[in-house]
Structure 1
Amino acid sequence: MRHTYATKIYLLAIGLFTSLCSYSQEINDTFEDGNITGWTEGTVGHWISSTDSPITGSNSLKHNVSSTTGNSYISQSISGLDLAAQDVTWQFNIKNGAWDPSSANKFWVYLTANESDLGSATVDGYAIGVNLSGSTDALTLWKVTNGAAETALITTSINWNSSQLRGIRVTRSTAGNWEIFADADGGFDNLVSQGTANNTDYTFKDFFGVYFKYTSTRAGFLWLDDILVQGAAPSPNPAVTFDSATSNETETDSNFNTTIPVTLSNFAANVTVSVTVNGSSTAEGGDYTLNTNSLNFTSNGTQNISIDINDDADMDNETVVLDIAVTSGTADLGISTHTITIEDDDLPEVRISEFMYNSPSTDDEWIEIFNESGGTLDISNWTLEYNGNTFTFPATTNFSNGSYFTIAVGSNGDGTYNNDNSFTPDFNNLSVANSAVKDTNSTNKLGNTSGTITLKNSSGVTVDVVTYDDGHVSSTDGNGTTYEIVATATDNASTSSNWQASVINGGSPGRISGSTWTGATSNSWTTASNWTVGVPVATSDVSIPSGLTNYPVISANTTINAGVIASGATVIANATVTGNFTYNRSLSTSNWYLVSPPVSGDTFQAVIQRNTFATGTGSNIGIAPYKNDGTAWDYKTNSTTGTITSGQGLSVKLASSGTLSFSGSLQSTNVTYPITQATNNFNLVGNPFAAFINLGTFFAGNNAGQLSEQTIWMWNQATNSYETKMSGTHAAFEIAPAQAFFVSAGAASTNISFTTANQSHQSDSFQRNARPELTLVATGTKGKSSTQLFFIDGVTTGFDNGYDGSVFGGLKSTFQIATQLVTNNIGKDYAIQSLPLDNLNRQVVPVSLRAKNGELIDLSISSTNLPQGTKVYLENRETKEFVELSENATQIKLTKDHEGIGQFYIHLSSKTLSTAPITKDLHQISIYQSSKNSLTITGLQSNQATMTMYNMLGKKVNTTSFSSNGVRELSIPTLSSAIYMVVLETAEGTVQRKIVIQ
């Protein structure tokens, strides 16, 4: 987009500014002169002033590399600036091509750097861009030290996607106040502030430039234009600003006062500044008292805003956001917003976190306490009073921060429940986290209907107290579910709203529990009404059940203690989530399934310990990755160790139907997984997210050029066969969490990508398209196999990537039915072949069969949406018979081994076909090189034919006479790699084809 008018206005403003201030312009390059004179390239030729899709005018600076992976930079000196004495402005337009930034494809613009080599490991400076650290696509201003991100100064709300154009302006004052502005459609006529910060660590002003890291499919697709770098002496206008944008306070048990400084400089006349509280503040009205409503400046100087921080009853961390505005006089605003973060102090050091007061079948009852003090506590001689009994903690009992201590009470109380829900009868090692002790008085028990539990320190001061009865949680009594405190509970509270049934696996250890997701209002994780008892906090356990309408989206960095995601439930993490999640996937049979962990960081040893797999030959168990080196399944044993890589697929078989569990962190960044060709192209990969991914988007993104065909193969445990899904015919298909599938690598060593932007919440239903479809099914003594024909507008009778899906070749089957291409056939078997809809009733499709001599095979069809009157016939060219499969199945006994096409063909016709002579269609004949010294001819029916080959100079190089009944392989001499003309002469006519001999 060309912003001609806005650009002119901007230049006039620059001219006026020049007349008023001391001013230096270091770079002002629109690249309209067609060269990059004055710029230094890391590698000569990597950048160019290009007319290819310029941002403005007729030329833009463009990356000039293609089809290779690497990094490039270009820089220019800005040594005439003085960051200590000048306010500096950097301005430029930037756009990327049709690719979404990732850890492998990223760019950042160095505003100022201490050396021209922007890829150096020693470069220091400030840079704005995406993915400088990690793989977040948020446009961010970084302080860079030794070539790496040190501090994120400003993180904007701009999530950089594919094909984006932005006009960017960054300003820095002599005081080190930074601000980012952005124009959403390029240019500088609608700039909006994206945030402010203060940093004065670096004041050097040596070089400006851009650094670009890219893969082969992204090379060449980055443009910059209208680059302006200039400095000017600070404005002589009066200016008023907060001295800083943020501050922190810690709440105490009494009210206290704090002050926030505001400074006026370049005083010319009296200035009045209003002070207000921004509505984005999270603190409640009673949590603070603003004592200053305005400031009156009669000279240069600093005045303070006074605010009282009040002690409150809740346990929440809060913010008070203050705004200043000039209400009288004239002054430029610097930092106009200040955020005070208030850390709460009301969490108790030790809390009663869970208890079982009426075990359903035994007297196994317990009380659990939790240490959230921030350090290890000596709780020697502390007491726990319950039901008229007193338990005293032994001497030298050290209680680790973040740990749980279980006191088993009752005659059968004999152990501890650990963080991983295992039960350990160990009461001696009391210094270890999550340990336990037993009240040895076997008659001491909790009241089965009501009671009070009191925790006291060694001085007898009450630390926590809980009063309970059956009215608190009706489901607790008698069914074994424990009673745990929730995240929003206040100290010493005992009302029913502060307690709930345990949400993690129905039992101990209890934790300072978060809540259960209901999705009652929206998908927002931070909306309280979407939870049973409020938004989870750092000590919370959460549960995401199945069968809901709304599922959570996490948009900001979040910390919890632990979480469980039920089978069929989904969670989208668009920000970092700290805390372990268990993902449960229900497997309805003990058959084999292809799965992939929808969390990161799980290990083989943990998965094997957590789940019960079927046993196999020797020590093998039912879990195996796939190896495409010819050995296929890499079966694991009970002693296998190692991390499961995100994106890796596994084949699993449980000992019995049930739940398969994975445990780890939610994946919140893009995942790149390596794939290879090796012995075969096939690689077992899987959805690494706890949400659905769309198949069409999966193929359209970074993976567009990484695969040999846009097809995936999924194992159907019910039919014991692979299902084929493609980008064209199944673009709307959603791949579920924990689902693995095969892909075919398009290069010897490459990667596929799973992008966070492709996540969505879906139901488990999938609605088929209303296209005409035909399924041919073969059933024999060796098994059952099927192949499909789709009829779609716009496809051809040759290969259409994304619409024709080959048979899964990672494991060879002894019994298989498929089809081969109607034209341009190269002998490849297809599980799905798409054919033109407008030619549906004139198609003759070669059927490929793999089966042994003597096999008795039943052939049948099923179809949907075929045009009325269309009949499906199976042609047997050996017996010269047509059988109408539309009405009946047919049974065939094979008289030879089959390994391809030649005998059987599918005809679709609105006419009745019989044993009349076969119609010859020379257009369906295909010729291809099937080995170094052979050609294969398919689709030809002839008792006498001649094949002659000519080189491109017209010289005859080979002649062969032969007969063919649909497919024939012919020997040829050893020939040089080149293009040759093949002429087939038959009684029905002559066919010419160009082929490439390699």
Structure 2
Amino acid sequence: MEKVTKKYILVILLMGIVVQGWSQGKVIIQSDATGTGSLIVGSPNTLSVEVNGFIPSSNWHVISPSATGQPLGTFVSSNGIVNNATFGNYDLSPLDEASNNWTPFTQSSNNSSMVVGKGYAIRKTATGAVTFSGTINTGTIAVPITKSNLGWNAVGNPYTSALKIKGADGFLTKNQSAMDPSFSGVYIWSQSLGQYVVITQAGYAFPAPGGETELNQSDIAVGQGFVVKAIANGTVTFDNLMQEHSSISGISYLSDSSSWPAIRITVTDDKKRSSTVVAFNNEMKKDLDPAYDAGMFKMNDGMDLYTQLLDDNGVDFAVQCLPLKDYQSYRIPLGLDCPGGGEVRFTAETIDLPKGMEFYLEDKMTGVLSRIDRSKEGYSVKLPNKFKGTGRFYLLARQTGFK
């Protein structure tokens, strides 16, 4: 086994990839807040690995195992997962598509192995790494997904390298036929934003701070889990061409790059926030652009901000992509679900807008037309209890000088 181990260390050095150690025939892949180790090997392979994925906070995150054979009970008891002593379980749970809930939570006595390619919601007691131990995952991996209820399934990166999401060899392209065309994106929980953000084939990216970049990245990190929406019972597939070495560090870390013109509108109250994005590219249409437009993932009764397509198909969208030409004519329905009512504030961020492009928020109830893209104060309004739907607020794209 020592001879095999040396072979893989040599491969790692030639690629310039850092793996911080090996022990008793096991390759150890380290991760921290500044970087993540990465390893790509041929398949089939029985290499023993210990893979560390960095968790940047003690809030909820979605993970996926990078190795085969680790019991769920062993994982929770050895990784600082929150222990619900009263209930005799730990904060690690798969997403049950039939009930649309994260359930069941894990007991330390659970000897079932973590499922390769499956996503699990976890909460650690403190910031730090989680360790996946077992046999390295290689080759083509098919993961079952179901549609008995709404079709939301948690899956994740099964490999010891970053996973390519966009492009011809990416996860989205190869699995588009398995996903609902109005929701054919990769949904990642962002604790800082308090909602799921979506990677689609669209090319927009808002700068950080706080890991809130959204979303022109091509990769997701080692150990990262995410949610997809099935169109029917079937599978999603991961393969070796999706693997690539990347500098992405930390589960739920989001990176940025050059962007399409885009606006992100955010609504906040004293406790919650929600955002929606409209991006522009002349290859897009006013009706559905599968894998570019992405419906909103609503998991609870929280506050949700969304748009509807200019050529409406009845879906509430987290991301809408439109042609840039003729943008002056756009009056985009802006929907809001705010069960508790009360005062809310709309603000906006923009990126790479062409000269003279402006955005206004129209409130039909008050008659106010507010320039939303330049005001730090935004637009505030008091809403009735159980406010829900479209018809009151609209987003208008206009040229300089509009009145």
TM-score, with structure 2 as normaliser = 0.86
1:906 lines up with 2:395 in the alignment: yes
Instruction: State the AA in 2 paired with 1:630.
Output: S
| Deviation (angstroms), 1:669 | 1.9
More strand by share: 1
Instruction: Give the Cα separation in 1 of the matches to 2:118 and 2:381.
Output: 42
* RCO comparison, higher one (Cα < 8 Å, 6+): 2
CA distance in structure 2 between the aligned counterparts of 1:516 and 1:665, rounded to whole angstroms: 14
Distance in 2 of aligned mates of 1:515 and 1:572: 13
Deviation at 1:757, TM superposition (A): 2.2
User: Is 1:566 equivalent to 2:30 in the alignment?
Assistant: yes
Q: 1:894: how far off?
A: 0.9
Matched, 1:741 2:226: yes
Which residue of 2 is the match for residue 629 of structure 1? Answer: 98
Counterpart residue type for residue 395 of structure 2? I
Name the structure 2 match of 1:604.
72
2:372 to 865, 885, 904: 885
Q: Is the 8 A contact 1:852 1:894 kept in 2?
A: no
Identity over aligned pairs, percent: 23
Give the Å deviation of 1:769.
3.0
How far the C-alpha of 1:615 sits from its partner, in A, is 2.5
Any residues of structure 2 matched to 1:569-648 within 5 Å, and which? 569-616=37-84, 618-630=87-99, 632-634=101-103, 635-648=105-118
Q: Matches of residues 269-288 of structure 1 in structure 2 within 5 Å?
A: none
1:143-542 equivalent positions in 2, closer than 5 A: 514=6, 517=9, 522-523=14-15
Give the letter aligned to residue 813 of structure 1: D
Aligned mates of 2:148, 2:313 — CA distance in 1: 22
Is this contact kept in 2: 1:600–1:664, CA < 8 A?
A: yes
Distance apart, 1:905 and its partner CA: 0.2
Q: CA deviation at 1:545?
A: 2.8
* Gapped regions of structure 1 (runs ≥ 5): 1-401, 403-486, 489-511, 524-529, 532-542, 547-559, 915-998
**Aligned counterpart in structure 2 of residue 545 of structure 1, from 17, 20, 28:** 20
Work out whether residues 685 and 741 of structure 1, in 8 Å CA contact, stay in contact via their aligned partners in 2: yes
Relative distance call for 1:611 and 1:698 in structure 2 (3 A) is: same
User: Mapping of 1:9-20 within 5 angstroms?
Assistant: none
Matched letter for residue 223 of structure 2: A
Find out whether 1:756 has 2:240 as its counterpart: yes
Give the SS at the match of 1:522.
Answer: helix
TM-score (norm 1): 0.36
Asked if 2 retains the 8 angstrom alpha-carbon contact of 1:782 and 1:815, the reply is no
Match of 1:820 in 2: 308
Q: Which runs of 5+ in 2 are unaligned?
A: 204-214, 249-253
- Once the two structures are superposed, residues 829-871 of structure 1 have per-residue CA deviations (whole angstroms, 9 ceiling, x without a partner) of 1111001111223211100000146410011101011122222
1:333-379 CA-to-partner distances (Å, cap 9, x unmatched) read xxxxxxxxxxxxxxxxxxxxxxxxxxxxxxxxxxxxxxxxxxxxxxx
Distance across 1 between alignment mates of 2:98 and 2:399: 48
Q: Does the CA-based 8 Å contact 1:874-1:883 persist in structure 2?
A: yes
**CA distance in 2 between partners of 1:733 and 1:663 (Å):** 26
Tell me, yes or no, if structure 1 residue 798 matches structure 2 residue 293: no
**What is the distance in 1 between the residues matched to 2:113 and 2:73?**
8
Which residue does 2:208 correspond to in 1?
A: none
State which of 257, 260, 266 in structure 2 corresponds to 1:771: 260
CA shift in 2, pair 1:758/1:598, >3 Å: same
Shift of 1:883: 1.0
Aligned partners of 2:217, 2:191: CA distance in 1, in Å? 22
CA distance change for structure 1 residues 688 and 853 in 2, over 3 Å: closer, same or farther? closer
Partner letter of residue 636 of structure 1? T
Q: CA deviation at 1:518?
A: 7.8
- Measured in 1, the distance between the counterparts of 2:229 and 2:383 equals 33
Report runs of 4+ in structure 1 exceeding 3 Å deviation. 512-521, 728-732, 911-914
Map 1:65-104 to 2 at 5 A: none
Q: Is the 8 A contact 2:194 2:272 kept in 1?
A: no
1:704 equivalent to 2:176? Answer yes
Change (3 A) 1:604 1:854: closer
In the other structure, the counterpart of 1:788 is 277
1:676/1:745 contact within 8 Å kept? yes
User: In 2, distance between residues paired with 1:693 and 1:731?
Assistant: 14
Q: In the alignment, is residue 832 of structure 1 matched against residue 309 of structure 2?
A: no
- Looking at structure 2, the residues matched to 516 and 751 of structure 1 have their Cα atoms a distance apart, in angstroms, of 31
For 2:10 and 2:267, locate their aligned partners in 1 and report how far apart those are by CA, in whole Å. 47
1:863–1:826 distance in 2 versus 1, CA, 3 Å: same
Deviation at 1:803, TM superposition (A): 1.1
**Do 1:571 and 1:691's aligned partners in 2 also have CA atoms closer than 8 Å?**
yes
Alpha-carbon deviation of 1:732? 5.6
Match of 1:29 in 2: none
State which of 669, 675, 682 in structure 1 corresponds to 2:152: 682
Partner SS, residue 335 of structure 2: strand
Gap change, CA 1:814 and 1:772, over 3 Å in 2:
same
RMSD of aligned residue pairs (Cα, Å) = 2.6
Q: How does 1:815-964 map to 2 (within 5 A)?
A: 815-823=303-311, 825-852=312-339, 854-888=341-375, 889-895=378-384, 897-912=386-401
3-state SS in 1 of match to 2:46: strand
Structure having the higher Rg: 1
